[in-house]
Amino acid sequence: MINLETPRKFRAFVNQAHQVAAEMLRPNSRQYDLAEHAYPKELDMLAAMVDGLGASGTGSGAGAGGVRRTESSDDDAGKVKNGSNLSSVLSIMEMCWGDVGLLLSMPRQGLGNSAIASVASDEQLKRFEGVWAGMAITEPGCGSDSASIQTTARLDGDHYVIDGEKIFVTAGGRCDAVVVWATLDKSLGRAAIKSFVVFKDTPGMTVDRLEHKLGIRSSDTATIRFENCRVPAANLLGSTEVDADKGFAGVMQTFDNTRPLVAAMAVGCARASLEVTRELLASADVEIDYDRPVHLQTAAAASYLQMEADWEAAYLLTLQAAWMADNGKPNSLQASMAKAKAGRVGNDITLRCVELAGSLGYSEHELLEKWARDSKILDIFEGTQQIQQLIVARRLLGKTSAELK
């Protein structure tokens, strides 16, 4: 049975993550928000620390690169695991309490690293160790419907030839490689979609531009073009087989692991907003009394209590989705529920905190306005709010994607 308290073996590590967020990420938050596209060099040392913790076992699978689903054996029957997925979720919550954009800018902690950890073979895991990988899914004519990907991968000898264009690639200008989603055969639909690790120095791969954005400005977002880009066949992640019955479950398993991570980002950012707002309310003599009914408190206090309740629900859903992945349980429904709840709640909370704080919330005097801008992307990437609700509906009703669109 899941225990919703932070596991004892993770507590020291989570405290370390919070300390790093407080002493390194948050103090640099405003600087790199204003200096869009400037690389935060302070993160090199931090990434080296995370790598060291992971290698020593102290970090218990810290960061996006730590997530991996393992099959349960007979010896594990009845045992509860608190593994890399839960550890990653807890650490990311703390880091995004500091700054979401800087967390997304950390070397070797990209969403592409999570994709590699999720579906790569053991040999590929070893070969791609230490690589900073971005994730290239979205296309100009293909947003939330990943099954409509038009980028193609054609087998030519011992290489695949990739052609297409990817947009909104997080860390696309800085990373060492990108995990590219492409189809082996458009006529086969989603069943032929595979993911490939493509290194940045590969001929035919071009970073066209970096986007200017509303939030997470310290993290670069790139458009990448592939023209006759030859990638070793060994860089195809997971199975090479095209199974029409299975669809693209292999690459979709990536989302089952990364969506709780994005939910954790929203939970961490929202918690930061709640804490600052509570301090501001206290300085204005607004009392939040947990022993009195909501309707007997001020409007500001009642609003704050409602936000806290929503935050708690998002937090618990996120832990559940990560815990299920660690214990080899199918978590597609829970991953989408966590992403949908945390994405919406995170954005709602940060905006309402700006409102409650008034002019202090809207100005650069506090980080509240920045967190409101940063939080919006967390309701969009890795599957929009609407797509998550559609996935949840399909799972609950037992409908296929063809039956419920």
Least confident of 26-30, 50-54, 353-357, 376-380: 50-54
The better pLDDT of the pair 311, 4 is held by: 311
Residue 246 pLDDT more than 70? no
Conformational region of residue 249, where left means phi above 0, alpha means psi within -120 to 50, and beta covers everything else: alpha
* For range 357-363, the mean pLDDT: 96
Which two three-digit tokens encode residue 402?
């063809």
* For range 192-220, the mean pLDDT: 96
Give the CA angle between residues 238, 243, 245 to the nearest 5°: 130
pLDDT tier for residue 221 given thresholds of 50, 70 and 90:
very high
Residues present in the chain in total: 405
Contacts of 373 (CB under 8 A, 6+ apart): 214, 215
Residue 245 pLDDT more than 80? no
Residue 54 pLDDT more than 70? no
CB of 234 closer than 8 Å to CB of 223 = no
Contacts of 64 (CB under 8 A, 6+ apart): 88, 92, 109, 110, 111, 113, 114, 117, 258, 261
State the pLDDT at residue 110.
82
Residue pLDDT, tens place only, 145-160: 777 899 999 999 999 9
Q: Cα separation of 90 and 84, whole Å? A: 10
Q: Cα separation of 159 and 284, whole Å? A: 65
42 belongs to the catalytic site: no
CA distance readout (Å), 17 to 115, 133, 179: 22, 22, 27
Given 71, 312, 382, 403, which residue is catalytic?
382
Domains of the chain: 8-127 (1.10.540), 133-235 (2.40.110.10), 249-397 (1.20.140.10)
Give the CA angle between residues 241, 246, 249 to the nearest 5°: 90
* For range 362-390, the mean pLDDT: 96
CB of 109 closer than 8 Å to CB of 36 = no
Q: How many CA atoms lie within 13 A of 380 on its CB side?
A: 12
Q: Cα separation of 153 and 196, whole Å? A: 9
Residue 58 pLDDT more than 80? no
Closest listed residue to residue 258, CA positions, set 355, 173, 146, 158 = 146
State the pLDDT at residue 136.
95
Residue 249 pLDDT more than 80? no
Residue pLDDT, tens place only, 188-197: 888 899 999 9
CA distance readout (Å), 88 to 55, 195, 299: 14, 23, 36
CA distance readout (Å), 218 to 28, 101, 103, 150: 10, 5, 9, 30
Which two three-digit tokens encode residue 312?
């708690």
Q: What percent of the chain has pLDDT over 70?
A: 91
Closest listed residue to residue 194, CA positions, set 227, 241, 161, 231 = 241
Least confident of 95-99, 144-148, 276-280: 144-148
Contacts of 28 (CB under 8 A, 6+ apart): 40, 42, 99, 102
Q: What percent of the chain has pLDDT over 90?
A: 72
Closest listed residue to residue 251, CA positions, set 116, 378, 389 = 116
Residue 47 pLDDT more than 60? yes
Beta strands in 211-368 (DSSP E): 221-232
Q: Cα separation of 205 and 251, whole Å? A: 22
Q: Cα separation of 230 and 217, whole Å? A: 32
Q: How far is CA 378 from the centre of its chain?
A: 8
Residue pLDDT, tens place only, 291-349: 999 999 999 999 999 999 999 999 999 999 999 999 989 999 999 999 999 999 999 99
State the pLDDT at residue 39.
95
Rounded to the nearest 5°, which phi and psi values hold at 208? -75, -45
State the pLDDT at residue 75.
55
Residue 141 pLDDT more than 90? no
Which two three-digit tokens encode residue 246?
């299975």
Q: How many CA atoms lie within 13 A of 26 on its CB side?
A: 21
State the pLDDT at residue 202.
97
Residue 71 pLDDT more than 60? no
Question: Which amino acid, 216?
Answer: I
Residue 53 pLDDT more than 70? no
Residue 62 pLDDT more than 60? no
Residue 52 pLDDT more than 80? no
Rounded to the nearest 5°, which phi and psi values hold at 180? -100, 130
What pTM was estimated for this model as a whole?
Answer: 0.93
pLDDT tier for residue 262 given thresholds of 50, 70 and 90:
very high
Mean pLDDT value across the chain: 90
State the pLDDT at residue 189.
80
Q: Cα separation of 223 and 238, whole Å? A: 25
Q: For the chain, what is the largest distance between any 2 Cα atoms, rounded to a whole number of angstroms?
A: 73
State the pLDDT at residue 291.
95
Residue 210 pLDDT more than 60? yes
pLDDT tier for residue 239 given thresholds of 50, 70 and 90:
confident
Residue 74 pLDDT more than 70? no
